[in-house]
Amino acid sequence: MSLQAYPSIVQVPLVGFLSWLVPGLGHILLGHRTRGLVCMVTIIATFWCGVAIGSVQGTVAPHYRKLWFVAQLGTGGNTLAAYALHLAVSPESAKSSKPVLVSHWMSAEVGVHYTGVAGLLNLLVILDAMARSEPFKAGGRRRRQLSRGFP
Amino acid sequence: MTAMLASLFTTAMELSGRQRFFLMLPLCLSIAIVYKAIRNDSMQRFPIGVLTLWVTIVMGLVAVGGGLWVLFRIMV
């Protein structure tokens, strides 16, 4: 499946959405396989390492950590999966606006930083994928740069 | 198997203060990898670029942390 065949008006939002859902997927479908795989593995590993460090109850808590949750939403598919796990494990703490005492505060803080940074990094990846997908923006020198090096 | 996998993400790790600082290293590495994957045009320069950026970020954070610690010691 390649996205190159789609008109740019469809391609740009589609690439953005796919990159948001699964980090790096937009790059892979645009033909930048290595770049997409590197981003995918790094962002997914960072996010789930953060969840493993701080526990899903302590890190992905939209009512208690609102702003961090917004940052985590940058990597949409992972955050939604983690929130679904949180709801399955402990539905009352998922909707609580008080801190969840399942982990030491230090573990939870480190986990939140990992997941938040993963979300913000994916924001960069989404914007990069959208910039690469738009044919008229990738003209001239930029197009030559993009087609060189990374496959 | 599923329960074991789920418990990995529902049980938090016990961290000490010193371990917390070492966990900064993989996080900085992630930032360096993603940034260089986006910015680098050549795969050949990718590993060295990641290493350089990683060291720069870590050294910068250590310098800022050390500076703030000295300031704290002087003022308190």
CB atoms A45 and B30 under 8 Å? yes
The complex scores an ipTM of 0.88
Query: What long-range pairs does B31-34 form, CB within 8 A, spacing at least 24?
Result: B31/A117, B31/A121, B31/B57, B32/B57, B33/A38, B33/A42, B34/A38, B34/A39, B34/A42, B34/A43, B34/A121, B34/A124, B34/A125
Question: What does DSSP assign to residue A6?
Answer: S
User: What are B63's two structure tokens?
Assistant: 């310098």
Task: Give how far A34 is from chain B: nearest CA, Å.
Answer: 9
User: What are B18's two structure tokens?
Assistant: 């010193």
B35-63 pLDDT, tens digit each: 999 998 787 889 999 999 999 999 999 99
Q: What SS3 state is found at B46?
A: helix
Number of domains in chain B: 1
Domain contains B62: yes
* pLDDT of A116 over the 90 cut: yes
Residues A86, A56 contacting (CB under 8 angstroms): yes
* pLDDT of A89 over the 90 cut: no
Domain contains B33: yes
Provide the CA B58 distance to its chain's centre, in angstroms: 7
Domain contains B69: yes
**Which residue in chain A has the smallest CA separation from B22?**
A110
Mean pLDDT, to the nearest integer, of A114-124? 96
Domain contains B3: no
User: What are B23's two structure tokens?
Assistant: 């966990």
* pLDDT of A139 over the 70 cut: no
Nearest to B34 among A34, A43, A53 (CB): A43
Sort out which chain B residues have CB atoms less than 8 A from A46's CB and list them.
Answer: 26-27, 30
Residues 6+ apart with CB under 8 A from A79: A47, A60, A69, A72, A73, A115, A119
Domain contains B1: no
Residues A116, A61 contacting (CB under 8 angstroms): no
Nearest to A149 among B9, B30, B43 (CB): B43
Nearest to B9 among A34, A51, A149 (CB): A51
Domain contains B11: no
Integer CA distances (angstroms), A118 to A52, A65, A95, A110, B41, in order: 14, 16, 23, 12, 22
DSSP labels, A64-119 = TSHHHHHHHTTSHHHHHHHHHHHHHH-HHHHT-SS--TTS-HHHHHHHHHHHHHHH
CB atoms A149 and B35 under 8 Å? no
Quote the percentage of chain A above a pLDDT of 70. Answer: 75
* Domain boundary assignment for chain A: 3-93+105-147
Task: Show the domain range for B49.
Answer: 18-75
* pLDDT of B32 over the 80 cut: yes
Sort out which chain B residues have CB atoms less than 8 A from A87's CB and list them.
Answer: none
pTM tops 0.90: no
CB atoms A107 and B8 under 8 Å? no
Domain contains B68: yes
Domain contains B39: yes
Hey, of B15, B16, B21, which one would you mutate to test binding to chain A, going by the most A CBs within 10 A of its CB? Answer: B15
